Amino acid sequence: MSALDHLVYAVPDLLEGVAGFAERTGVTPVAGGAHPGGTANYLVGLGEGVYLEIIGPDPDVAGARPRAFGLETLTAPVLAAWAVRPDDIDEQVRQARQAGYDPGEVQPLSRRKPDGTLLEWRLTRREDPAGVRPVPFLIDWGSTRHPSSAGLPQLSLEAFSIAHPDPAAVTASLKAVGVHADVVAGSVGLRAVLGTRDGEVELV
């Protein structure tokens, strides 16, 4: 089975989003770096091998309104996507397609950390305008050190679930990419419950 890698929390203004997150949780995310295409991120650990990515338009790129994760039109923070880490990304894509779900093409991506270090990985990308992705994308870090191992400030992930009008269809797609998750009937959305020193905080 694929392992949970990270959750993606998209915000329309990166620095405001990080400040708001820190106020809600009592934990200040650390700068992750900038991606080609006009996005940048901040990170918080969610336990061994898992982290939360807060992503938004790169504040150092004037007028950046990237399309990724619906940022082009986003007006409020949203838990937009999640990623899983299969043992063999190419084989998992093949199996998923055989099972009737296409995760998308495996493509290279990178980001430059604030200290100048270049991180490189591969992930699946679909041409999908949806702002919220119930089915995770697949990621392979290769020889790159996993972001969760970089001494991130920590919260705990207490619960994670998916809402969708057709839970059975989403469950089938999840099985195709090698994961299990709680799926309930409702409007499309993701929900994560984070454990903090002052209690639980919900991200949707």
What is the distance in angstroms between the CA of the first residue and the CA of the last residue of the chain?
Answer: 25
* Least reliable range by pLDDT among 35-39, 63-67, 101-105: 63-67
Give the pTM: 0.96
| Mean pLDDT score of the chain | 95
- Concatenate the DSSP letters of all residues of 155-201 into one string: -EEEEEEEEES-HHHHHHHHHHTT---EEEESSSEEEEEEEETTEEE
Task: For residue 161, tell me if it sits in a domain.
Answer: no
Q: What is the extent of the structural domain holding 147?
A: 3-153
Give one word for 171, left, alpha or beta, with left for phi > 0 and alpha for psi -120 to 50: alpha
Task: For residue 203, tell me if it sits in a domain.
Answer: no
Tokens 């709680």 appear where? 182
Task: For residue 177, tell me if it sits in a domain.
Answer: no
44: three-class secondary structure by DSSP: strand
Name which of 15, 54, 32, 57 is nearest 194 in CA terms. 54
Looking at residue 37, the DSSP 8-state letter turns out to be T
The predicted-structure confidence for 113-126, as pLDDT tens digits, reads as follows 999 999 999 999 98
The predicted-structure confidence for 141-192, as pLDDT tens digits, reads as follows 999 999 998 889 999 999 999 999 999 999 999 999 999 999 999 999 999 9
Domain count, the chain: 1
pLDDT at 68 over 80: yes
Task: For residue 136, tell me if it sits in a domain.
Answer: yes
